């Protein structure tokens, strides 16, 4: 079985350079018609230009594909709606959304201005929410949609000097988790790519030899897997240098305390048991955690709960 995207239409944000460009070219090579979205800003979000998006369109057309450029600011609902409307007018539908647009304004939290914090969160979080909202009803009506958000190890694990970026990227996980549930009956799948790539956003942060290993083209095949018709759902795919792994959030089994034990000293004394990974599990949703705690609390107190 060969993964192809013939007849599919994709929007890729931040597609003028780096990882986004690689994603757009990868989709086009496998038959997709591609909207190359890029505002043409610098890594800190300043300036604008259509040149980069236009160049990617020319690359796609040169290899026999179909593409159009659009310079929508992904945080501007009216501009994003125009992009979606143009894509549907040209090709009749949109099937795939890849949210890749982003900026950096790195500083330690002590030195960071709140405006820089807000700007980064706006571009990464709302810059994913706005295009998704613009397409959500379309995906539901067509009973088909494939969405990939972009997170980062800075959000999943932390990175010094990137509190704004880390917060925004961690937010992708919450967005995906909810939309997976809301989109399931409409055949809308949402996944997350967690790339480590050599792009203009990582220049100067990694040695040249390492950057050579982490080219965007080593990551895009993973993204293509996440937007395929038979893609997984609710997956965080770590990717870099041709290496792929699943990143997961687990919850330990935990400890139930009686009413006479509910004080910080007792809880601290049992911290090793609370953190014991022996029976950790993935929670399928928020109420799974609620039911788990209610059941544990009831058993601790000898109460039999009605079966749900």
C-alpha to C-alpha distance for 287 and 5, rounded to whole angstroms: 36
Kindly report the CA angle at 159 between 157 and 161, in degrees rounded to 5? 150
Token digits for 155? 């959000």
Please check whether residue 223 is in contact with residue 98, taking contact to mean a CB–CB distance below 8 angstroms. yes
Tell me how crowded residue 74 is: count the other CB atoms within 10 A of its CB.
Answer: 28
3-class DSSP state for residue 66?
coil
Q: Is 165 a catalytic residue?
A: yes
List the end-to-end C-alpha distance of the chain, in Å, as a whole number: 41
Please check whether residue 40 is in contact with residue 53, taking contact to mean a CB–CB distance below 8 angstroms. yes
Please check whether residue 130 is in contact with residue 77, taking contact to mean a CB–CB distance below 8 angstroms. yes
Cα atoms in the Cβ-side hemisphere of radius 13 Å centred on 149: 33
C-alpha to C-alpha distance for 230 and 124, rounded to whole angstroms: 27
Residue with tokens 């009216």: 78
3-class DSSP state for residue 231?
coil
Please check whether residue 195 is in contact with residue 236, taking contact to mean a CB–CB distance below 8 angstroms. no
Query: Which DSSP string do the residues of 159-217 spell out, in sequence order?
Result: -TTBHHHHHHHHHHHHHHHHHHHHHGGGTEEEEEEEE---STTTTTTS-HHHHHH--GG
Output phi, psi for 176, to 5 deg. -60, -45
Q: Of the listed 144, 149, 157, 165, which one is catalytic?
A: 165
Catalytic (active-site) positions: 165
């Amino acid at each position: 079985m060969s993964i192809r995207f013939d007849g599919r239409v994709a929007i890729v944000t931040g597609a003028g350079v780096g990882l986004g460009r690689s994603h757009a070219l990868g989709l086009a090579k496998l038959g997709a018609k591609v909207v190359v979205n890029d505002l043409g800003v610098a890594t800190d979000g300043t300036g604008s230009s259509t040149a980069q998006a236009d160049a990617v369109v020319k690359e796609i057309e040169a290899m026999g594909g179909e593409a159009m450029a659009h310079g929508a600011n992904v945080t501007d609902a009216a501009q994003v709606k125009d992009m979606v409307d143009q894509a549907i007018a040209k090709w009749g539908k949109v099937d795939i959304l890849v949210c890749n647009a982003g900026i950096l304004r790195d500083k330690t939290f002590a030195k960071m201005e709140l405006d820089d914090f807000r700007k980064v969160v706006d571009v990464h979080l709302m810059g994913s929410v706005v295009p998704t909202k613009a397409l959500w009803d379309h995906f539901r009506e067509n009973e088909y949609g494939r969405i990939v958000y972009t997170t980062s190890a800075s959000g999943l694990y932390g990175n010094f000097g990137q509190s704004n970026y880390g917060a925004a990227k961690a937010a992708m996980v919450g967005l995906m988790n909810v939309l997976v549930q809301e989109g399931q009956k409409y055949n809308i799948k949402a996944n997350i790519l967690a790339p480590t790539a050599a792009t203009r956003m990582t220049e100067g942060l990694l040695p040249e030899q390492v950057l050579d290993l982490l080219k965007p083209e080593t990551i895009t095949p993973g993204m293509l897997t996440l937007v395929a018709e038979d893609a997984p759902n609710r997956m965080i795919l770590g990717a870099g240098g041709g290496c792929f792994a699943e990143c997961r959030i687990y919850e330990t089994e935990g400890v139930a305390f009686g009413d006479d034990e509910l004080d910080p000293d007792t809880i601290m004394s049992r911290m090793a048991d609370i953190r014991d990974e022996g029976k950790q599990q993935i929670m399928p949703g928020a109420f799974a955690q609620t039911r788990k705690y209610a059941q544990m609390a009831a058993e601790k107190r000898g109460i039999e709960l009605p079966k749900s």
